[in-house]
Amino acid sequence: MAIERTLSIVKPDAVGKRVIGKILSRFEDNDLQVVAAKLVHLSKVQAEQFYAVHSERPFYNDLVNFMISGPVMIQVIEGDNAITKNRDLMGATNPSEAAAGTIRADFASSIDENAVHGSDAAETAEQEIAFFFKPEEICEYTR
């Protein structure tokens, strides 16, 4: 399997519940390494641009307003098969459908406030990482 990087966001609901550490532990416990991270309060423009792919969806305005309702923890995580592995650790978009033991099953309360974002494919991972991080902000580790 190839080493990949993906973008992960701990959303405002989970930051507010003070479970940043528990969520990042899920990645670390599953051989995904945090290679860049920052806590930020997104601007409305940033949230609109980040979720532009959903701009025609009925939930877009609610999603943007939720994402700017408090700080978010944004990280690049790296490891074997990181994109799919992160999606598997996250669980389904709707926490009521998320498998037991997934991040969303354990920490999310609704489809609107579902604890985490994760890139869904190689192309979006690359775009989303570049949206938030300059290349020099991503660390190289000797494994």
DSSP the chain: --EEEEEEEE-HHHHHTT-HHHHHHHHHHTT-EEEEEEEE---HHHHHHHTGGGTTSTTHHHHHHHHTSS-EEEEEEEEETHHHHHHHHH--SSGGGSPTTSHHHHH--SSSS-SEEE--SHHHHHHHHHHH--GGGSPP---
Per annotation, catalytic residue among 5, 85, 104, 117: 117
Q: Which is nearer to Mg ion, 9 or 35 (CB)?
A: 9
Which amino acid appears at position 21 of this protein? G
131 binds ligand IDP (CB under 6 A): no
Strand-pairing partners, residue 77, are: 6, 34
88 binds ligand IDP (CB under 6 A): no
# binding residues, ligand IDP (CB under 6 A): 9
With CB under 6 A as the contact rule, the residue among 47, 63, 68, 82 that binds ligand IDP is: 63
Q: Which is nearer to ligand IDP, 45 or 59 (CB)?
A: 59
126 binds ligand IDP (CB under 6 A): no
117 is an active site residue: yes
- Binders of ligand IDP among residues 98 to 117 (CB under 6 A) are 111-112, 114, 117
Which amino acid appears at position 23 of this protein? I
Q: Which is nearer to Mg ion, 9 or 36 (CB)?
A: 9
* Site for ligand IDP, rule CB under 6 A: 54, 59, 63, 93, 111-112, 114, 117, 120
Give the catalytic positions in this structure: 117
